[in-house]
Amino acid sequence: MAEYFQPEIETMPRERLRELQLAAMKESMRNAYENVPLYRERFDAAGVSVDDLTSLDDLAKFPFVVKQDMRDAYPFGMFARPMSEVARIHASSGTTGQATVVGHSANDLKNWGDCFARGIAMVGGTKDSVIQVSYGYGLFTGGLGAHAGGEAMGCAVIPTSSGNTKRQVQMMKDCGTDILCCTPSYALLIADTAIEMGYDPATEFKISGGIFGAEPASENMRQEIADKLGLQYCDVYGLSEIMGPGVAMECVERGGLHIAEDQFYCEIIDPETLEVLPDGEWGELVITTLTREACPLVRYRTRDVTRIVSEPCACGRTHRKIDRLRGRTDDMLIIRGVNVFPSQIEQVITTFPEIATQYQIILTNEGPLDKVELRVETVPDFPIDEVRKLEDLKARLAAELKSNLQVNVQIKIVEPKSIERSEGKAKRIIDLRG
């Protein structure tokens, strides 16, 4: 069944892959040390040298870089190549501060295309496919990244970029688009627009695959997109500091996103202690680039929370996977030593149709013990007259949270007016721990 884009790389035995990673890591870190002053200073200050890398685990001895380092280095302080060898420059939006600028060499762009093309193959794409790129083109990496993937595969690429949604639908129908690439929210808008225009894209359009990323999407939303457009949903992970979309992509087995491990080395760390965690444990994703020439990154802290899934995948690819992102480290709570993300609690709540979406978490402490209270409301038509049903709902919700979070949560069902509705971002967490 499975067709791979680069079978020799994607199904490489793990031992060989690890050897290749170590060799590439040494070369990449040498590039960083020799050409970027920041790395030279940091490595020297930490008393580590590239020669200390005798195994992949030795990477843990090296210092991290964070987004702020890239802001401070604006514009070209992190470049390891002269402008004559830089083929393209992308930049992050800078909505939360100084923009970050990332350079790509010609090889970097080729590798990027290869990474993304692997995802095209994951949704059944071949050189015969028509691929519509409805990500924005420009400084944002989505459009040109997907475009490069389509070209690497040899697809017919339709660079619609984002916007003018009715025309998107018309192109999709008339050109027989097989694969759509865009953000999940835009995919849903395209699907709804097609339906409003009188089409049933799931049955009337040729489309069979979609590669969606750059923003979070709930499981319900993914299912809705897949159903409305009638396609296999591929989640794509990437970030402009590292490359762009294609760092990891989701195969048909849907048990996580295969990291392009020949190009990126991923670690999961505890964001508090900064210790490397074993595979399977949730924490902050840290990425070291293995092949990037223009802007190599060593132990870049993404702030994204996930875990590494190392079990063999039925699709035959040997590259390990990252799980669906659980949130950002900034949102993390530490409760009795356990890392808990509000998104986990939200996920459990959404499986209870009796509970309204408003909720609030109150953290207090009784002596050394943290106490967690979750305040929820029932939906308006819940039979509040039946005390047993209310008690039963509390018990089931508490049991479900306990099994998901490994933390005891006291459930308090409250009246609608008890949880403050704010106009902007709702205040979900109230931490009263002294």
β-bridge mates for residue 269, sequence order: 276, 284
Contacting residue, 61, 127, 412, 433, with other proteins by CB under 8 A: 412
The piece of 6-14, 203-211, 336-344, 382-390 that touches other proteins (CB under 8 A) is: 382-390
Tell me the residue type at 264.
F
Tell me how far apart the alpha carbons of residues 88 and 294 are, in angstroms, rounded to a whole number.
10
Contacting residue, 314, 384, 395, 429, with other proteins by CB under 8 A: 384
How many chain residues are in contact with other proteins, going by CB under 8 A? 18
- Nearest residue to 262 (alpha-carbon basis) of 10, 56, 60: 10
Q: Is 413 in the site for other proteins (CB under 8 A)?
A: yes
> Toward other proteins, which CB reaches closer, 368 or 380?
380
Which residues, other chains included, contact 164 with Cβ-Cβ below 8 Å and sequence gap of 6+?
none
What's the min distance (Å) between Cβ of 397 and other proteins? 14
Tell me how far apart the alpha carbons of residues 251 and 121 are, in angstroms, rounded to a whole number.
9
Contacting residue, 128, 196, 219, 386, with other proteins by CB under 8 A: 386
Cα 183–Cα 184–Cα 188 angle in degrees, nearest 5: 120
Residue 16 has phi, psi (to 5 degrees) of -65, -40
Q: Is 360 in the site for other proteins (CB under 8 A)?
A: no
Start-to-end CA distance of the chain, whole Å, equals 57
DSSP H or E run through 25: helix 14-35
Exposed/middle/buried for residue 137 (C-beta within 10 Å: 0-12, 13-18, 19+) = middle
> Toward other proteins, which CB reaches closer, 181 or 376?
376
- Tokens 């093309």: give the residue: 117
Q: Is 418 in the site for other proteins (CB under 8 A)?
A: yes
> Toward other proteins, which CB reaches closer, 94 or 383?
383
What's the min distance (Å) between Cβ of 364 and other proteins? 15
Which one-letter DSSP state was computed for residue 432?
A: -
Q: Is 165 in the site for other proteins (CB under 8 A)?
A: no
Q: Is 45 in the site for other proteins (CB under 8 A)?
A: no
Q: Is 414 in the site for other proteins (CB under 8 A)?
A: yes
Contacting residue, 108, 258, 378, 407, with other proteins by CB under 8 A: 378
The piece of 54-62, 159-167, 219-227, 407-415 that touches other proteins (CB under 8 A) is: 407-415
Tell me which residues touch other proteins (CB under 8 A).
377-378, 380-381, 383-387, 390-391, 412-418
